[in-house]
């Protein structure tokens, strides 16, 4: 990364300055000169890559400047694994550029993002390789997968009571722990935390039915919400929503709404928190945002 920040990469502009190449045009778009800001940010090829990542809502807010300014933007405003994700995607863009220049092979934007994701997971696995067998047993993931043919949906809400907005995180996984969808909804309403958690369960139920109509589980760490669903109270203001959830359960062959600890619910929690921070919706299908991969990989059943 230091070579990028100190303009020490062999981009076309630097090579032209040294007399190594005659023209400095970008090998991808052929229109602009290939300096470091263009290669990793301004080029249409690079922009397509960044837009496929979970970093895009953060990067889209970048007010402009050099690539070093963009780097500082991620450091200052990123959360969780944003910095690591940014570095890996940048590296993957450079690998794809060199493969095209020297071998004539074209990498799609998805290929570039996937390479960054694989590198991140390989790093996580390598960094935990020193753990002994006994420690691995003790560290067995507490998230329990559903039975074969079923789906488990974890939901959580992120609420700031002093403001009029909240976010809901929903993650659906199959019996192998594979993520089927990761959705976060940002809503501008002033509801109680209890009601927001109830809405999260309702949305989770709808998504579960959409993917697996008859066999599903929805998990929430909001114990009072689970109790309100299990015990009808016609005088409660939120009982209409709870009744809708109970009806959905009764119409399915094998469905349940269960309570889980916050530790088990980390993936949905991180998703809702990121959505609240960015103030925008998040939607991934058959894949996972980079910032969730670390948590998901350690949740996978052994």
Query: What domains can you pick out in the chain, each with its CATH number?
Result: 2-127 (no CATH), 151-299 (3.30.420.10)
pTM score over 0.75: no
Picking from 272, 256, 167, 259, the residue whose alpha carbon sits closest to that of residue 222 is 259
Backbone angles phi, psi at 26, to 5 degrees: -65, 130
The pLDDT value given to residue 139: 37
For the record, the structure tokens of 40 come out as 């990793």
pLDDT at residue number 127: 55
Tokens of 92: 């993957």
pLDDT of residue 263: 82
**Closest C-alpha among 74, 73, 81 to residue 291:** 81
Residue ranges of alpha helices (H) inside 60-176 are: 67-77, 82-103, 109-127, 133-138
Low-confidence ranges of the chain (pLDDT < 50): 128-141, 302
Distance of alpha carbon 185 from alpha carbon 171, whole angstroms: 12
The residues, ordered by sequence, that sit 6+ positions from 234 with a Cβ below 8 Å of its Cβ are none
Tokens standing for residue 82: 């944003």
| Helix-then-strand count for the chain, H and E | 14, 6
Q: Name the CA radius of gyration of the chain, rounded.
A: 23
Say if CB 198 and CB 223 are below 8 A apart.
no
pLDDT at 124: 62
């Amino acid at each position: 990364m230091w070579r990028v920040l100190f303009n020490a990469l062999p981009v076309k502009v630097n090579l032209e300055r040294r007399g190594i190449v005659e023209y400095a045009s970008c090998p991808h778009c052929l229109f602009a000169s290939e300096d470091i800001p263009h290669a990793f940010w301004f080029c249409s090829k690079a922009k397509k890559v960044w837009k496929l990542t979970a970093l895009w809502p953060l990067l889209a807010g970048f007010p402009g400047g050099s690539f070093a300014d963009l780097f500082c933007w991620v450091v200052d405003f990123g959360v969780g694994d944003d910095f690591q994700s940014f570095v890996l995607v940048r590296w993957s863009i450079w690998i794809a550029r060199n493969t095209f220049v020297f071998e004539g092979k074209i990498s799609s934007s998805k290929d570039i993002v996937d390479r960054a994701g694989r590198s991140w997971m390989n790093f996580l696995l390598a960094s935990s390789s020193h753990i002994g067998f006994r420690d691995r047993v003790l560290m067995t993931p507490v998230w329990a997968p559903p039975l074969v043919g079923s789906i488990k949906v974890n939901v959580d809400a992120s609420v700031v009571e002093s403001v009029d907005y909240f976010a809901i995180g929903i993650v659906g996984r199959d019996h192998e722990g594979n993520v089927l969808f990761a959705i976060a909804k940002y809503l501008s309403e002033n509801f109680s935390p209890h009601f927001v958690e109830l809405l999260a369960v309702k949305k989770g139920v709808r998504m579960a039915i959409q993917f697996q109509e008859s066999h599903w589980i929805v998990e929430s760490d909001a114990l009072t919400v689970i109790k309100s669903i299990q015990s009808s109270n016609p005088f409660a203001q939120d009982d209409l929503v709870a009744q809708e959830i109970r009806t959905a359960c009764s119409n399915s062959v094998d469905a349940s709404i269960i309570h889980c600890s916050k530790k088990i619910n980390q993936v949905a929690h991180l998703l809702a928190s990121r959505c609240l921070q960015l103030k925008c919706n998040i939607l991934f299908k058959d894949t996972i945002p980079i910032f969730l991969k670390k948590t998901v990989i350690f949740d996978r059943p052994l």
